[in-house]
Amino acid sequence: MEERLVSPEELSSDDLKKRVWKESTEFWGIAFPGIVARLTSFGMIVVTQLFMGHVSELDLASFGLQQSILIRFVNGILIGMSSATETLCGQAYGAGQYHMMGIYLQRSWIIDGVAATILLPLFIFTEPILKLLRQEDDIAKEAGKMSLWFIPILYYYVFSLTIQMFLQAQRKNMIVGLFTASSFVVHLGCWLLKSLSISLEGGVLSHGKAFTKAAFADMLPLLKLSLSSGVMICLEFWYTSILVLLAGCMKNATVAISAFSICINIYGCDFMICLGFLGASSVRVSNELGKGNAKAARFSIKVALVTSVIIGILFCVLCLVFSDEISTLFTSSAQIAESVSNLHVLLAFSVLLNSVYPVLSGKYFILNSIHK
């Protein structure tokens, strides 16, 4: 194994510009479909919030509380645990061990499915949980009604996230991006029809197999990697959820929750792009390590980090320049829009700092899997 990681097959003799261009091309070839899939999947939630923002302040606050706390809590756990699938499948693909990829996918379904079932009571008992956390009764009651409709999404995440990681590891995830983009267009079309008062009348590689006994064997290493990888992503999701939870304890909770949830969804859009970078970085580094090319893996991390920082700076500037326009897009309430505008500086710098974390996390996932 050590001989493979120090293989003399390097690119050090190439011109730096050519190396950067080649690596950037491969990186974006993996990252772009992943970004489309994650951004449009998250965009469906954002479109729903756009719709809620023009219904009533109570509906917006209830949806924002439910989505920012419950969905982000669950999503953080499942995305983090699914990252193990991406890392292990990427290494197996790079090493040519295609039969192991299907086994890793099946093991991830089992582990993530059990985790989702354990989390199911959170959706059933949302109202008493929110009241226990000292949220306003009317907001907690409305959020409790909405949470029952999110139960199918819980199990949707189990399969969509793991399959996306599985396909991305072999650079075949464009199909996932197309499907999620189509779903997003349907959601966006429904919102536009309502907003504009328009009425209408009336081929992947062959290493996937059926479930085998191997999927149930030797699951402990994958479980350990899933849990350790999941903790890092979970903390990133949860600290923003805590802000919304604290906003619910303020005097004007409806406005505070609505404003914070809007900011977090804007932040979340950028985070979905960064997660695409995390996935691409994990796949590139895993593939190179699977081939035994350690120096190429290090160079890939450098290119991914610089690319992510540039994107972060761009979104930071957009948040600073278009703060008023963004807030009015989400709500028709002048008070909520003003609160969002007042938070634009903190939002912009949060977006900037967020651009570095995912790539470094991807590096940790891979190193952790090697040591396991």
DSSP-assigned states of every residue in 323-370? HHHHHHHH-S-HHHHHHHHHTHHHHHHHHHHHTTHHHHHHHHHHHHHH
pLDDT at 207 exceeding the cut of 60: no
> Are residues 289 and 297 in contact, defined by beta-carbon separation less than 8 angstroms?
yes
Total domains in the chain come to 1
For residue 120, count other CB atoms closer than 10 A to its CB.
Answer: 13
Taking phi over 0 as left and psi of -120 to 50 as alpha, with beta for the rest, 171 belongs to left
> Are residues 24 and 284 in contact, defined by beta-carbon separation less than 8 angstroms?
no
pLDDT at 173 exceeding the cut of 80: no
pTM (2 decimals)? 0.64
> Residue 230's pLDDT is what?
62
> Residue 259's pLDDT is what?
81
Q: Which residue has the tokens 């949470």?
A: 147
Mean pLDDT of all residues belonging to the chain: 74
> Are residues 69 and 149 in contact, defined by beta-carbon separation less than 8 angstroms?
no
Share of the chain above pLDDT 70, in %: 77
Both structure tokens of 60: 């917006």
Beta bridge partners of 293: 6
How many H helices and E strands in the chain?
Answer: 16, 0
Q: Which of 168, 158, 153, 160 is nearest to 34 (CA)?
A: 168
Residue 55, phi then psi, degrees to nearest 5: -95, -65
Q: Which domain holds residue 55?
A: 2-371
Amino acid identity of residue 303, one-letter, is V
| Digit-coded pLDDT (tens) for 82-121 | 777 777 777 787 777 877 888 888 888 888 888 889 988 9
Both structure tokens of 162: 């793991």
> Residue 203's pLDDT is what?
37
Mean pLDDT of 321-327: 78
Angle at 309 between CA 303 and CA 315, to 5 degrees: 140
> Residue 183's pLDDT is what?
75
Q: Which residue has the tokens 């645990």?
A: 81
| Digit-coded pLDDT (tens) for 269-305 | 777 787 777 777 777 777 777 777 777 777 877 887 8
Quickly state the pLDDT bin for 318 (edges 50, 70, 90).
confident
Taking phi over 0 as left and psi of -120 to 50 as alpha, with beta for the rest, 244 belongs to alpha
Mean pLDDT of 187-198: 59
pLDDT at 52 exceeding the cut of 50: yes
For residue 211, count other CB atoms closer than 10 A to its CB.
Answer: 12
| Digit-coded pLDDT (tens) for 22-47 | 878 877 877 788 788 777 877 777 77
- Of 167 and 188, the structure prediction assigns the larger pLDDT to 167
Q: Which of 46, 9, 12 is nearest to 267 (CA)?
A: 46
Q: How far apart are CA 209 and CA 36, in angstroms?
A: 27
Quickly state the pLDDT bin for 232 (edges 50, 70, 90).
low
pLDDT at 210 exceeding the cut of 60: no
